Amino acid sequence: MTHIVHRNPHVPLPVAASGSGCTIIDSHGRRYLDASGGAAVSCLGHGHPEVRAAISAQLDALEYAHTSFFTTEAAEALAETLAARSPAGLGHSYFVSSGSEAVETSLKMARQYHVDRGEPQRHRFVSRRQSYHGNTLAALSIGGNMARRALYQPLLMESHHVSPCFPFRYREAGESDERYATRLAAELDQTIVQLGADTVAAFVAETVVGATAGTVPPVPGYFRKIREVCDRHGVLLILDEVMSGVGRTGTFHAFEQEGIVPDIVTLAKGLGSGYQPIGAVLAHRKVVDVLHQGTGAFQHGHTYVGHPVACAAALAVQRIIQRDGLVERVATLGPRFEQMLRGALGDHPHVGDIRGRGLFWSVELVADRASNQPFAPSLKLNARIKAAAERVGLLCYPGAGTVDGAVGDHVLLAPPYIVTEAELETITDLLHQAIDTAVQ
Ligand code: PMP
């Protein structure tokens, strides 16, 4: 009998006992190849001795200091490192304990930015229907996973959703990327105008969509057009890179591949690589200068913001990523992994799409390859794939996307950046087996 409130108490979980590199071992000694890094968290893999040592050293020195009394070397050094890895101007960090907290913080930052500029009526947010921004109520309000939101209506915040870069576009023939991106930007423009441009605080989007629809990269040119719409209306652009940031797509920030700089970016998962709970909000000087000059301070805080042990762990993660050239490694391994996936699964009768960037890929499943029709949601294919994968010793992250009435099952893969080519081959083989078992 468990005394934990589990996600699904009817499905007993194995007990994770230890881990090393890309492998997790359960209490019965069964080994699992971690092809999703949890949920795109473990970028350095498990049991990294240098991160453990950094945590231990910080604990030996000091476990905690409240940010109303102190700053710490770990937090200052981490902020400096993130500034150095970011485009000019995007140089200020606010450290929190999770992705949802980072998103909440970014929303409050955007609100206060407008209040301090004398535009308190700018309180509305626009986001996209295909999106996940976290599970706290404000993050859920702007999130576009309608099933997750349904239980909690009415949500706390007013939110407005526009069309995403559609994950199921491969099922349709036609429209060029250029026209498509122009149409989506025009929809955002109209939405902002209809709401009243002087009432909108920010537009929020995941640069590469993660969990809700399975690693959907933006259409080329999309974000440049979006940036232009936001600028025209004085609306801040917040990019949520909780899942896609910190090197996961082959550049430190995923937005670097889009030729734009956002006003605020949220980071989390890969930042602590699972060693400590940590998230960050990176804000542009344009925003921070207003916050510091307006009411004099950012009116926000949690007890554990800037936790020194979490910052020390994230700093060690950054040091290792940089020293070992792991972002560059992701950029090199990405196309190899894509090749393997396409080679093994590209012609599979139940694979409709293979998409992603860096070490952030999804395989989308269809009932019938000729029509690209999805499987019936009642089949719960994602649960079947997860179970079949676990039986062959593979951890992957299957999900079911629903956007504008269209549905689809995908399997998200986000292995640690230290994964070897041989392990990528094994991941591909085991996934093939799991898919074959699950679709039977
Ligand atoms: N934003 C994005 C894009 C995410 O993928 C997630 C987590 N899946 C979150 C926010 C929320 O992060 P957390 O679970 O750490 O609160």
pLDDT (tens digit, 9 = 90+) per residue, 84-127?
A: 999 999 999 999 999 999 999 999 999 999 999 999 999 999 99
CA distance 392 to 329: 27
Q: Do 317 and 374 share a domain, yes or no?
A: no
For ligand 1, is residue 211 a contact (CB within 6 Å)? yes
Domain range holding 259?
Answer: 52-323
For residue 343, with 0-12 CB atoms within 10 Å meaning exposed, 13-18 middle and 19 or more buried, which class applies? Answer: exposed
Last residue of a domain, one of 262, 292, 323: 323
Asked if the structure places residue 136 within a domain, the reply is yes
Q: Do 149 and 190 share a domain, yes or no?
A: yes
Q: Do 291 and 340 share a domain, yes or no?
A: no
Query: Tell me, what's the pLDDT at 7?
Result: 81
Residue 296 confidence (pLDDT) above 80: no
Query: Tell me, what's the pLDDT at 41?
Result: 98
Last residue of a domain, one of 280, 301, 323: 323
Asked if the structure places residue 336 within a domain, the reply is yes
Domain of 110, CATH number, reads 3.40.640.10
Q: Do 303 and 351 share a domain, yes or no?
A: no
| DSSP, residue by residue, 299-360 | ----TTTT-HHHHHHHHHHHHHHHHTTHHHHHHHHHHHHHHHHHHHHTT-TTEEEEEEETTE
Asked if the structure places residue 7 within a domain, the reply is no
Last residue of a domain, one of 297, 323, 349: 323
Q: Do 149 and 278 share a domain, yes or no?
A: yes
Burial 170-200 (b: 16+ CB within 10 A, else e): ebeeeeeeeebbbebbeebbebbeebeeeeb
* Residue of 243, 244, 267, 362 to test ligand 1 pocket, by largest number of atoms within 8 Å of CB: 243
CA distance 418 to 440: 34
Q: Do 284 and 332 share a domain, yes or no?
A: no
**Domain count for the chain:** 2
Q: Do 257 and 353 share a domain, yes or no?
A: no
Residue 401 confidence (pLDDT) above 90: no
For ligand 1, is residue 132 a contact (CB within 6 Å)? yes
Q: Do 336 and 310 share a domain, yes or no?
A: no
Residue pLDDT, tens place only, 344-354 = 999 999 999 99
* 3-class DSSP assignment, residue 415: coil
Distances (CA, A) of 88 to 256, 260, 267, 282: 12, 12, 18, 12
Q: Do 123 and 257 share a domain, yes or no?
A: yes
Domain of 388, CATH number, reads 3.90.1150.10
Instruction: Please compute the mean of the pLDDT values over residues 214-241 and round it to a whole number.
Output: 98
What is the 127 CA–ligand 1 centroid distance (Å)? 15
What is the rounded end-to-end Cα distance, in angstroms, of the chain?
Answer: 33
pTM over 0.95: yes
Q: Do 297 and 346 share a domain, yes or no?
A: no
Atom index in ligand 1 nearest the CA of residue 98 equals 15
Asked if the structure places residue 232 within a domain, the reply is yes
For ligand 1, is residue 128 a contact (CB within 6 Å)? no
Asked if the structure places residue 41 within a domain, the reply is yes
Spell out the residues 6+ positions from residue 39 whose beta carbon is closer than 8 angstroms to its own.
211, 243, 269, 397, 412, 414
Q: Which residue has the tokens 């070490």?
A: 359
For ligand 1, is residue 240 a contact (CB within 6 Å)? yes
Atom index in ligand 1 nearest the CA of residue 243 equals 5
